[in-house]
Amino acid sequence: MADADALRDATRPGVPATPEPTPPPPVTAPDGSVMSLVDHLGELRTRLFRSILAILAGSVVGAMFSVQIRNFLLAPLPIDTVQVLGVGDGFAIQLRISLITGIILAMPVLLFQIWRFVAPGLTQSERKTVRPWVPLALLFFALGVGIAYLVLPYAVSFLLGFTDEVLVANIAAGPYFDFVTTMFLAFGLVMEFPILLVGLSRVGVVTSDRLRQVRRYVILGIAIFSAVATPGGDLVSPFVLGGTMYLLYELTVLFIKRTGR
């Protein structure tokens, strides 16, 4: 019925025809060919498989140097040894160190695979705009891991400051390495925050005015994320993480504004 009414309206003099909705642009491969939904899912599977292989390869390297990495991470502690509480804790710690090291070493491959998966959904001009920020994402991740290691001694000192001759600090290895590795990943991923915002601004999803309007909600989200992502219970780690995120947010908004968006 609606189609018949639209046809009658189109034939009446002086009545403009109702324009048909513009279909969304098709997803294209990097070579310019159109990708179907099945092809897009196959592309996702390929990218995930290559990312997993990269993490496994990095984990093998991490396993080879796990003892040296373990001792390096224990350096901020005021003691030379830590204790394990379970029979399998030593193996679990080595496995965790190897896996986190694998993720860090595989980050260049992971970022490249993410870019190769996202790029077909962008226009040619959007690809040219966003592509230079992909290498910077790796640099920012490494910077975040470096900041985490600089903060680690202060966080450990703060937490151990509540111990004494009665409340003895017999540090368990499992919780300590859980704390360290989680903090490293949290700081590294947080440093991708400005890259994501700049990328979204380049493709027209967000603007500097919109980011300023939602500032109060962003601050609340940063506070919640900082408290959850730093499991040590100290005040130093969430404060530094939250302060870094907010500073990056404000600098990113200023940068997006200066680019005219």
- Model pLDDT for residues 199-234, shown as the tens digit of each residue: 777 666 777 778 788 878 888 888 887 777 665 555
Q: What is the DSSP letter of 29?
A: -
Kindly report the pTM of this predicted structure: 0.66
pLDDT tens digit sequence for 68-116: 888 888 888 877 778 887 778 888 888 888 998 888 888 888 888 887 8
pLDDT > 60? residue 4: no
